[in-house]
Structure 1
Amino acid sequence: MSVQRRDNGKWRARYRDPSGRERARHFDTKRAAQDFLAEQRQAMRTRTYVDPVAGKITFSEWFAVYSERQVWAAGTRISAQQAADCVTFGDIPLNRIQPTQVQHWIKTLQAPGGSRPRGLAVSTIHTRYNYVHGAFLAAQKDKLIHEDPCTGVTLPRKPRASVSSVSIPTPEGVGRAVREAPEWFAGFVALCAFAGLRLGEAAGVQLGDVDFLRRTLHVRRQVQGTNVANLAIVPPKFGSERTVHLPPDLVDLIARHVQTVGVHGPEQWLFADVWGNLLNRSSAGHQWRRTRAAVALEAFTLHDLRHFYASGLIAAGCDVVTVQRALGHSQASITLNTYSHLWLDAADRTRSAAQHLMQSAFAQNADSVRTEAT
């Protein structure tokens, strides 16, 4: 390391980085040059040195590199890219992005704009932030930046789970939807409502996945994509491959579907649209919107049928682990975070237990009075 005065009066600080490459930077004063070298010496000693040139890559350029290194499912990759595409600092070099700029980006996600009359949902904002935050952490780990600019950024608070946070249609409404749906689509609606399948999981069911004798359905794959062009067959979400126990009436409904509608292709897919294409997010959603409009269920999505299924399991007394496995949640905490309000709390259980005790006590007294009277 050395400091030399240049002919133009500037002071040049020279040093070699950990890879042995010579670096140089010019300053107006000798003291500033010496302080800079001291900082670089300390950074190399503590292994916190950051290549000043590497940090000049823009966020968008870095995210392209970062995302290629990740082992992501197709749907995850799409979501991650959506997060990267919506940032307000994509063209700014990594080493110039400040926490205030990240905070401003979060603010834009909350604001109405375009097709978002109320801004993005809080859960969506958190998801997009997590993808961006992960990219910054990787940049910091690879010594492209000193600090993660997401540090100290405030996110909108997630609302506590409540009855209103999960939309659940009535059994009567679901029944009308299944009856009103076109014959080729009724079984799809039924699998979402009475087996708790996600849209992509229901679209990915093949005849061989259904064990009619044991009345079970094996969830082995899902259909991802928003249209025919980007449709992809992928494994279920992590932890979601499972065996679902079907009620007898649902087994009979599937059997009638196979008999009257048939199956599609050599794989024997259960569901396809009128043109023979596998259902995707757009086509299934379009048909559901037509069906729900006919039975006054406009407020409910296909995913709300999954909530309907979960609420039925909980009302029947199923515990958290049972519901978790039936829904294919990777962790019980996901089930609790979504549906905890549907389980009886301690006060409800105490009240119910005390009521049972009173009924038992008075029933015994009544029997005793009747016995003495005879």
Structure 2
Amino acid sequence: MSLAVRSCTFSDIEFRNIKRSHVEAWVKKMSQDGLAPGTVKTRYNNVRSVLRGARNDRMLATDPADGVTLPRARKAEHAMSIPSPSDVGKLLEAADPWFLSFVAMCGFAGLRLGEAAAVQLTDIDFLRRTLKVERQIQRAGGGEVLITPPKYGSERLVHIPDGLVQVLARHVEQIGVHSPQKWLFLGDGGLPPHQNTVGYWWRKTVKAAGLEAVKLHDLRHFYASGLIAAGCDVVTVQRALGHSKATTTLNTYAHLWPTAEDRTRSAAGAMMDDALGISADSLRTHQA
């Protein structure tokens, strides 16, 4: 919300003087500045919630954002970039020792950047192999670090693999934890690192791995795609990722689930394999 307000080009205009053209000019400028369609939509919705509130309080006769055309987002299957297992392996090998567990939590537990930065030792249950996601790190104005609940209230318990448990245990043993809160990762002032600090180390890791154009958030897609490939249903993936609704999961990853045509083809293929196997066994019996 703070980013949306700061980017708003009509924030100094009185409510009664705001016109639809002001909103349209703002949306156009965000697109020209290179913001992704999804980011433009999020900021537009944040500011529009204020305009609707003003209309409901009768400070505005109508909603000046009503009917404004937003940039069209690319389809998920075209916009999404999913690293290969080989690429993720290269990133893990290239990461600095302290950053390795950060990369691993994003790739094998699906944590967002801010969620991974906010992990404390007490969030990890090494015996039950679970990881609690209860908070996130956000950057406020002037580089201030804010500790807030996860995005969209997505507190959750993630069931993590043995390999990730070992990575986290090694991190605690060799790197240690910081401050009374026992943060796994340390930024400035005894607080966890914010997105700029993490971004620096991520770019350094990508370069060292010999990769290009891989975003940290792509590791979350890698995690989701792995769950779907393993046969996990929509609700399981939704809970693991911390989506507030199953429709969010489907809108993002529907193209990764097998279609009815895929299942029909697989079923028919299995039937054919069985039939051919029986035929071959029968033929061998008659030859004997």
TM-score, length basis structure 1: 0.72
* Residue aligned with 1:238, SS: helix
1:94 and 2:94 aligned: no
1:135 counterpart (44, 50, 60): 50
In the alignment, which residue of structure 2 is the partner of 1:243? 157
- Single out whichever of 90-99 and 210-219 deviates more from structure 2: 90-99
Post-superposition Cα deviations, 1:267-289, rounded to whole Å, max 9, x if no partner, equal 22222259965221111111111
Decide which structure has the larger Cα Rg and report it: 1
> Aligned ranges for residues 170-319 of structure 1 at < 5 Å?
170-225=84-139, 229-273=143-187, 277-319=191-233
Q: Distance in 2 between matches of 1:246 and 1:89?
A: 46
Deviation at 1:226, TM superposition (A): 6.2
Q: Distance in 1 between matches of 2:151 and 2:122?
A: 20
Q: Distance in 1 between matches of 2:36 and 2:213?
A: 17
2:29 counterpart (86, 103, 108): 108
In 2, are the aligned partners of 1:226 and 1:282 still within 8 Å (CA)? no
Q: Distance in 2 between matches of 1:316 and 1:353?
A: 17
Greater relative contact order, per chain length (Cα 8 Å cut-off, separation 6+): 2
Deviation at 1:309, TM superposition (A): 0.9
Q: Distance in 2 between matches of 1:304 and 1:320?
A: 19
Q: Distance in 1 between matches of 2:44 and 2:141?
A: 26
4+ residue stretches of structure 1 with deviation over 6 A? none
The verdict on how the C-alpha distance between 1:246 and 1:81 changes in structure 2, with shifts beyond 3 A counting, is closer
TM-score, length basis structure 2: 0.93
The verdict on how the C-alpha distance between 1:106 and 1:227 changes in structure 2, with shifts beyond 3 A counting, is closer
Q: How many residues of Structure 1 are paired with residues of Structure 2 in the alignment?
A: 288
* Residue aligned with 1:148, SS: coil
1:147 and 2:62 aligned: yes
Tell me how large the CA RMSD over aligned residues is: 2.0
The verdict on how the C-alpha distance between 1:178 and 1:328 changes in structure 2, with shifts beyond 3 A counting, is same
Greater share of helix residues, 1 or 2? Answer: 2
In 2, are the aligned partners of 1:313 and 1:323 still within 8 Å (CA)? yes
| Aligned AA (2:24) | Q
The verdict on how the C-alpha distance between 1:236 and 1:84 changes in structure 2, with shifts beyond 3 A counting, is closer
The verdict on how the C-alpha distance between 1:254 and 1:86 changes in structure 2, with shifts beyond 3 A counting, is closer
Q: Distance in 2 between matches of 1:185 and 1:169?
A: 18
> Kindly, what percent of the aligned residue pairs are identical?
53
Post-superposition Cα deviations, 1:165-218, rounded to whole Å, max 9, x if no partner, equal 111112112112112211111111111111111111111111111111111111
* Residue aligned with 2:132, SS: strand
In 2, are the aligned partners of 1:227 and 1:282 still within 8 Å (CA)? no
Q: Distance in 2 between matches of 1:278 and 1:320?
A: 32
In 2, are the aligned partners of 1:227 and 1:283 still within 8 Å (CA)? no
Post-superposition Cα deviations, 1:107-161, rounded to whole Å, max 9, x if no partner, equal 22222xxxx3xx3211111112112221221111111121112222222222222
- Single out whichever of 125-134 and 91-100 deviates more from structure 2: 91-100
| Aligned AA (1:139) | A
Q: Distance in 1 between matches of 2:141 and 2:107?
A: 23
